[in-house]
Structure 1
Amino acid sequence: MSELLQPSISHHTRRYAKAVLNPLLGLFRPGNVAMFHVGRVGSTVLVGMLQQHRRIYWAGEVFQREHDRYMKAVGSGSYSLPQDPLKVLRIEMREARNRMFGFETKFLDEHHLKVIGLDLERYVDTLSELGFERCVVLKRKNILRRLISGVVLRDTGQFHIRADQKQQKRRFRLDLHRIPLGARHLDLVDAIRMIEEGHERLDRLLAGKQVCEINYEEHISDDPFVAYRKVMAFMGLEPGKPDILLRKTNPDPLEDMIENYDELQAMIGTTPYRWMLESA
């Protein structure tokens, strides 16, 4: 009989020990880091490197599962917010114990904020109340490239390419009037402006806080170790020697990728975003 009870007793003992010890170990945590980005900006390759460090507990996009549920339900109008949208974040924070804790938020109104039930201003304040004293912001200058990457993801279902995987050439037609951002579809120029304005809003809210800004073109595109070392220094940790697990998904010139490149060129050729056609 005692042998039958032993697994159950051991399981409950472990749960009790975690419930008691995790908050205590959390008192010795070196800090909490909130990362903000809009997706398809090199966050996954950077986070993959951070997660290999023994002193870091990086929880990833903790609201993404709920956002996936929202995306499935939004068409039928049946979505309702969870009773405690931040519960999953607090659970992950406890799991970090005495390691540096980090996680990511896609901060546009059309992304994770949809399932948190807070606007960006209140969300930033709430993170401060939860003990997030450091913020990392990932940006991509060429927003056009980010949007096209999102369209390719939607059409192919391929989020990333492993470092040892061959990159496949692909051409596709770009619907310039149905660029996906969350559950919405916008004209291309409107989508670019939405991301620009989102970052401007975030910059204002984070003014005066400890912020590490990572730029995809300068810190990730050619050598992700540049971004990795910058973030590690920001967190006050010695960098390790992580592997780079992923490679670029869409490195080709836009003219080679997009069948209706002439239409794309005509749409933004007279806007301030024309330079995005030529830049990677």
Structure 2
Amino acid sequence: MKVPMAPIGVVNWHIGRCGSSVLGSLLAQHPEITYSNEIFSPYMPRRRGDRTLPPLEEVVERARDGLQTRFHLFEVKHLPEQNLGLYPGLSRSDWVSRFASLGCQHHLVMRRRNGLRRMVSHVRASSSGVYVSSASASPPSQAVTIPLENIVHGFRQRSLLEWLEVYEEGHVRMQEALSDAEVPSLELVYEEDLEDSPLQAYQRVCQFLELEPGAPELRYRKINRGKLSDLIANFEAIESCLATTRFAWMLDA
């Protein structure tokens, strides 16, 4: 079958450390999907160096140039402190609109309910440089120290409590932008769709895109397994910080 001029864009919106790489590695094995990962992250200041930031549309066009598959899947970190901060004059709705003009017809939105576990994953990955773990790898043996203040995500520093608020608010705003645009979207919740069986998320996406699922190989697995009290070196300080907040449930989940 002859493929149209450009593949249909599928945008995966998330804030990181939510299973997106695991899902992407599964979907990349489908013959009708090309997976380009986080196409805007190489242009974040820390990685861009002296390179000029291209227009948003050009980043997408470069990523899909020459592709011959039906779908092109790529990821965007949707907090203003993350990829959205590259073009500060554009709102989430503006991004969705510009992607629509480029043929991006489908949207995934990934979330992780337990923001504290997401923070553990963020701090460990930032300090170790290890962002994915092979399915056969052993879990890390050393606990991580979670700062209470001055945690860096992209363009900003915030406290632990502030970031937990931002995580949830950002997801709500992203969902609203997609709803307002009336575009097809699928929400994937880490704890329900990926944590126990990433293949469940893979199958849901295939159904959403009206694709016949294959039998992909699970190449990555969760890095931070076990109780938070074992994963966090300063657990007592974190427990004291969250105990009287609405995030207290995260300590035991």
Segments of structure 2 that go 5 or more residues without pairing to the other structure are: none
Report the equivalent of 2:23. 46
Change in CA separation of 1:218 and 1:121 when aligned onto 2, cut-off 3 Å: same
Report the equivalent of 1:7. none
Report the equivalent of 1:26. 4
Report the equivalent of 1:269. 243
* TM-score (normalised: structure 2): 0.92
Superposed displacement of residue 80, structure 1:
8.1
* TM-score (normalised: structure 1): 0.83
SS in 1 for 2:152: strand
SS in 2 for 1:96: coil
Superposed displacement of residue 81, structure 1:
5.5
1:184 and 2:159 are equivalent in the alignment: no
Q: Partners in 2 of 1:87 and 1:182 — Cα distance?
A: 22
Q: Partners in 2 of 1:126 and 1:91 — Cα distance?
A: 15
- Max Rg structure: 1
The worse-fitting range, judged by mean Cα deviation, of 215-224 and 106-115 is: 106-115
SS in 1 for 2:215: coil
Superposed displacement of residue 168, structure 1:
2.3
Report the equivalent of 1:10. none
- Identity fraction in percent: 30
Superposed displacement of residue 84, structure 1:
2.6
Alignment of 1:248-267 (within 5 A): 248-267=222-241
1:134 and 2:134 are equivalent in the alignment: no
Q: Partners in 1 of 2:229 and 2:59 — Cα distance?
A: 43
Segments of structure 1 that go 5 or more residues without pairing to the other structure are: 1-23
Report the equivalent of 2:190. 216
Question: Please, what is the CA RMSD of the aligned residues?
Answer: 1.9
How many pairs are equivalent? 249
Output one character per residue of 1:167-223: Cα deviation in whole Å (capped at 9) or x when no partner: 221113221112221132211110011111111111111113211111100010000
Alignment of 1:1-280 (within 5 A): 25-27=3-5, 29=7, 31-67=8-44, 70-71=45-46, 82-117=53-88, 118-207=90-179, 208-279=182-253
Q: Partners in 1 of 2:146 and 2:112 — Cα distance?
A: 20
The answer to whether the Cα contact below 8 Å between 2:120 and 2:232 also exists between their aligned partners in 1 is no
